[in-house]
Structure 1
Amino acid sequence: MKSYPESVAFLGQFGRFQQVVFFLLCVSIVPNGFGAFTLVFLVDTPAHHCRVPDVNLTENWRNAVIPLRVVNGKEVRNSCSRYRLDVVRNLSDQGYSPERDVNLTTLEEETCRDGWIYSKDVYQSTIVTEFDLVCNDQWKKPFTTTIFFVGILCGSFFAGQLSDKLGRKPILFATLALQTIFSFIQVFSVSWSMFTVLLVINGLGQMSNYMSALVLGAEILTGNVRLLYSSLGTCFGFAVGYMILPVCAYFLRDWKSLLLALSLPCLVFFPFWWFIPESPRWLLCQGRVEEAEAIMRKAAKMNKVQAPEVIFEDYLIVSKPTEPKPKEPHSILDLVGNLEIGFMTMILCYVAFTMSAGYYGISFNTTQFHANAYVSCFISGAVELPAYVSSWLALRYVSRRMSVIGSLALAAVPLYFIQLVPEGYSGLSLTLEMLGKYAITTGFGLMFAYTTELYPTALRNTAAGLCNTVARLGSCIMPYLLELRSYSPFLPYIILGSLAVLAAFATILLPESFGKPLPESIQHMHKRNNIKCPCLPKAETPVAVVLMENTKS
Structure 2
Amino acid sequence: MYSDEIIDGVGGMSKFQILVLFLFMGPRLITSWGMLMMSFAGVTPQLWWCVNEMTSDAGNYTGLKQCSAGDNNTSCSYVYSKEKNTVVSEWDFVCDRAGIRPFITSVQMGGVLLGALLSGQSADVIGRKKTFYISLLLHGGFNLVAAFSVSWQMFIVLRFLIGAMVGSNLVVSYPYSMEFIGKSWRQMTSVVPFWQVGSALFALSCWLRPDWSDLHIILAALHVPFLACWFVAPESLRWLAVHGKLEEAEKVVDQMARYNKREKPANTAILLKKLSEEEKKGKESYHKYNYLDIYRHWNICWKSLVIQVIWMCMSFSFYGITFGVGSLMGNLYLNMFLVSVIAVPGTVMVFFLTSRIGRRWTTFSFFTVATIGAFGVVIVSRVVSSDDIRGPATTTMALMCRLGVATAWNSFQTTTSETYPTVTRNLGYGAANTAARVGSIVSPYAFAMGGEDLLPPFVIVGSTMVVCTLLTLLLPETNNTVLADTTEGTSGSRYTLHRDVGSVSGGKKANDSSVEI
**Same-fold status (TM-score > 0.5):** yes
The one-letter code sitting in structure 2 at the alignment partner of 1:170 is K
CA contact (8 A) 1:49 1:66 kept: yes
- Which residue of the other structure, out of 61, 71, 79, is the alignment partner of 1:117? 79
CA contact (8 A) 1:212 1:461 kept: no
- CA deviations over 1:324-358 (Å, ceiling 9, x no partner): 96961745962433525665544443322222111
| CA distance, structure 2, for counterparts of residue 295 and residue 516 of structure 1 | 35
Please give the residue correspondences for 1:71-150 in structure 2 after superposition, counting only pairs within 5 Å.
77-83=64-70, 108-113=71-76, 115-120=77-82, 122-123=83-84, 125-150=85-110
CA contact (8 A) 1:178 1:204 kept: no
- Which residue of the other structure, out of 520, 539, 547, is the alignment partner of 2:493? 539
CA contact (8 A) 1:391 1:446 kept: yes
CA contact (8 A) 1:156 1:465 kept: no
Q: Which residue of 1 aligns with 2:50?
A: 50
Q: Which residue of 2 aligns with 1:34?
A: 33
C-alpha displacement of 1:151: 0.9
CA contact (8 A) 1:179 1:205 kept: yes
Uncovered stretches (5+) of structure 1, i.e. residues with no partner = 69-76, 84-107, 543-553
- CA deviations over 1:178-207 (Å, ceiling 9, x no partner): 211101101121111111111111111113
C-alpha displacement of 1:20: 1.0
Q: Does 1:524 align with 2:485?
A: yes
Please give the residue correspondences for 1:133-532 in structure 2 after superposition, counting only pairs within 5 Å.
133-229=93-189, 231-233=190-192, 236-286=193-243, 288-311=245-268, 313=270, 316-317=273-274, 328=284, 330=286, 334-338=290-294, 339=296, 344-394=303-353, 397=356, 399-421=358-380, 422-423=383-384, 424=386, 425-426=389-390, 427-447=392-412, 464-485=429-450, 489-508=454-473, 514=479, 524=485, 526=487, 530-531=489-490
Relative to the length of structure 1, the TM-score reads: 0.78
Greater CA drift, 181-190 or 308-317: 308-317
| CA distance, structure 2, for counterparts of residue 403 and residue 109 of structure 1 | 60
Q: Which residue of 1 aligns with 2:18?
A: 19
| CA distance, structure 2, for counterparts of residue 3 and residue 317 of structure 1 | 7
| CA distance, structure 2, for counterparts of residue 326 and residue 358 of structure 1 | 37
Uncovered stretches (5+) of structure 2, i.e. residues with no partner = 497-517
Greater CA drift, 215-224 or 469-478: 215-224
CA contact (8 A) 1:157 1:466 kept: no
| CA distance, structure 1, for counterparts of residue 52 and residue 126 of structure 2 | 59
- CA deviations over 1:362-389 (Å, ceiling 9, x no partner): 1222123343211211121121222222
Structure 1 residues 356, 312: closer, same or farther in 2, change over 3 A?
farther
Q: Which residue of 1 aligns with 2:9?
A: 10
- Which residue of the other structure, out of 52, 61, 78, is the alignment partner of 1:66? 61
Structure 1 residues 34, 329: closer, same or farther in 2, change over 3 A?
same
Structure 1 residues 367, 410: closer, same or farther in 2, change over 3 A?
same
The one-letter code sitting in structure 1 at the alignment partner of 2:69 is R
C-alpha displacement of 1:265: 1.4
The one-letter code sitting in structure 2 at the alignment partner of 1:268 is P
| CA distance, structure 1, for counterparts of residue 339 and residue 187 of structure 2 | 25
CA contact (8 A) 2:359 2:479 kept: yes
SS state at 1:246 partner: helix
C-alpha displacement of 1:307: 2.2
Q: How much identity, in percent, do the aligned residues show?
A: 26
CA contact (8 A) 1:158 1:465 kept: no
C-alpha displacement of 1:287: 5.4
SS state at 1:328 partner: helix
Structure 1 residues 67, 410: closer, same or farther in 2, change over 3 A?
same
The one-letter code sitting in structure 2 at the alignment partner of 1:67 is T
SS state at 1:245 partner: helix
Structure 1 residues 132, 368: closer, same or farther in 2, change over 3 A?
closer
Structure 1 residues 345, 166: closer, same or farther in 2, change over 3 A?
farther
Count of aligned pairs: 485
Return the index of the structure with the highest Cα Rg.
1
CA contact (8 A) 1:154 1:469 kept: no
CA contact (8 A) 2:93 2:100 kept: yes
Greater CA drift, 432-441 or 411-420: 411-420
CA contact (8 A) 2:368 2:469 kept: yes
| CA distance, structure 2, for counterparts of residue 16 and residue 296 of structure 1 | 14
SS state at 2:460 partner: helix
SS state at 2:229 partner: helix
Q: Which residue of 1 aligns with 2:506?
A: none
| CA distance, structure 2, for counterparts of residue 293 and residue 516 of structure 1 | 36
| CA distance, structure 2, for counterparts of residue 9 and residue 464 of structure 1 | 27
| CA distance, structure 1, for counterparts of residue 172 and residue 412 of structure 2 | 15
The one-letter code sitting in structure 2 at the alignment partner of 1:336 is L
| CA distance, structure 2, for counterparts of residue 260 and residue 190 of structure 1 | 15
